[in-house]
Amino acid sequence: MAEFYIEKNERETGDHLVHFSSCKVLPRADSLRYLGSIASFDSAWQEGKKVYHQVSACTECAAKYAIA
């Protein structure tokens, strides 16, 4: 399990980015919404989709864990 966050603020693309809690480019805590302790990045993404319409993976997190 890992802990995941999603950004409250959308990017220019309209996407809200999902991050591992260990992400080195994780934004300030007050701009994040906690998604929970979740088994996989994929599941965290699904959780994010329940909150926001447009969700995508943080590129840092995706690169580190080889998930797009």
Contact residues for Zn ion, defined by CB under 5 A: 19, 23, 58, 60-61
Tell the smallest beta-carbon distance from residue 7 to Zn ion (Å).
9
Question: Which residue's C-beta sits nearest to Zn ion?
Answer: 58
Asked if residues 50 and 11 have their Cβ atoms less than 8 Å apart, the reply is no
Distances (CA, A) of 5 to 2, 25: 10, 12
Asked if residues 35 and 61 have their Cβ atoms less than 8 Å apart, the reply is no
Tell the smallest beta-carbon distance from residue 16 to Zn ion (Å).
12
Tell the smallest beta-carbon distance from residue 15 to Zn ion (Å).
13
